[in-house]
């Protein structure tokens, strides 16, 4: 008498939900996984694209996605439920979010103006508050900041993403690059965003997913032309040369591995945020290698 053999539980395909922002650098990172160039037996990766401030809030309040892009500023608020993957970060090497305005301001003058920011929990805002704790801010969707500043609704804006490469074409002036300010202050790169993974997945699955992301990043770097062509659909009006430059700024060797100074920079940024009263509670940073 024959019977159908039972299927072992560990042979079931496990779905891992991944969310990242609709930006060319994130798309480049996840190109290998999103196009099934990188596969992991027993796992299925599904991708959702949403703006970073929404992802920060979903991770904090709902633990919604298994793997999620986050701002490093958001990590203290979700550290109980997520750990940081040791790859996939966007790090500014002497560059980062910028304060831009239609006219030149001194640093003392700009501290007295109201600035449009892309979100409370963005790392850009954390760096801004470390630079000028007293500065007045108002949240504006990141892709509306330059138009709102040009319309005269704000004296200046704090720009992230591709705006860092296009602000001058719009006739705006750079008042301060917070990546340079941070490097001058600490001697370290400025960590902006990373990928977090849900602790409830268990250590083994967390490590498997982290390795898959690292392979996806490496695949993009090894197949740059194809990965860039895929990422161009998220490049928001950048031409290919500028998109390639932007991706190069935020997807590189440090994206594969933060390095010791990169890890130190993440801890330093968050510790300083706590010491200065921007972040209300102590931070414990755990990396999944």
Residues annotated as part of the active site: 161
- Tell me the β-bridge partners of 77: none
Nearest alpha carbon to residue 95 among 227, 246, 267 = 246
Q: Which two tokens stand for residue 265?
A: 């920079």
Helix, strand or coil, per DSSP, at residue 2: coil
Q: Rounded distance, CA 147 to CA 143, Å? A: 8
Nearest alpha carbon to residue 265 among 180, 213, 187, 196 = 187
93-120: b or e for each residue (b if 16 or more CB lie within 10 Å)?
Answer: eebbbbbbbbeebeeeebeeeebbbbbb
Q: Rounded distance, CA 40 to CA 211, Å? A: 10
Torsion of the alpha carbons at 151, 178, 174 and 108, rounded to the nearest 10 = 90
Contact 260, 183 (CB under 8 A): no
Q: Rounded distance, CA 89 to CA 66, Å? A: 17
Q: Which two tokens stand for residue 277?
A: 């009263």
């Amino acid at each position: 008498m024959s019977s159908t053999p039972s299927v072992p539980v560990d042979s079931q395909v496990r779905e891992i939900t991944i969310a990242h922002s609709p930006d060319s650098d994130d798309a480049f990172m996840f190109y290998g996984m999103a196009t099934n160039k990188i596969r992991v037996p027993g796992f299925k990766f599904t991708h959702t694209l949403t703006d970073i401030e929404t992802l920060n809030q979903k991770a904090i309040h709902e633990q919604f996605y298994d793997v999620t892009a986050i701002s490093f500023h958001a990590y203290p608020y979700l550290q109980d439920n997520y750990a940081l993957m040791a790859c996939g970060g966007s790090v500014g090497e002497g560059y980062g979010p910028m304060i831009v305005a239609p006219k030149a301001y001194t640093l003392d003058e700009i501290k007295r103006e109201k600035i449009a920011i892309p979100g409370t929990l963005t790392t850009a805002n954390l760096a801004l508050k470390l630079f000028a704790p007293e500065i007045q801010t108002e949240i504006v969707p990141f892709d509306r900041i330059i138009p709102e500043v040009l319309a005269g609704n704000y004296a200046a804006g704090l720009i992230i993403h591709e705006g860092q490469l296009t602000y001058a074409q719009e006739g705006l002036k750079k008042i301060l690059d917070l990546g340079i300010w941070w490097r001058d202050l600490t001697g370290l790169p400025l960590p902006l965003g990373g990928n977090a993974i849900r602790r409830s997945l268990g250590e083994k699955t967390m490590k498997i997913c982290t390795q898959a992301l690292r392979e996806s990043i490496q695949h993009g770097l090894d197949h740059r032309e194809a990965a860039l062509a895929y990422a161009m659909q998220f490049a928001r009006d950048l031409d290919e040369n500028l998109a390639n430059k932007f991706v190069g700024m935020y997807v590189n060797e440090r994206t594969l591995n933060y390095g010791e100074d990169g890890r130190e920079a993440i801890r330093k940024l968050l510790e300083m945020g706590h010491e200065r009263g921007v972040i209300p509670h102590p931070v414990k940073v755990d990396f999944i290698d």
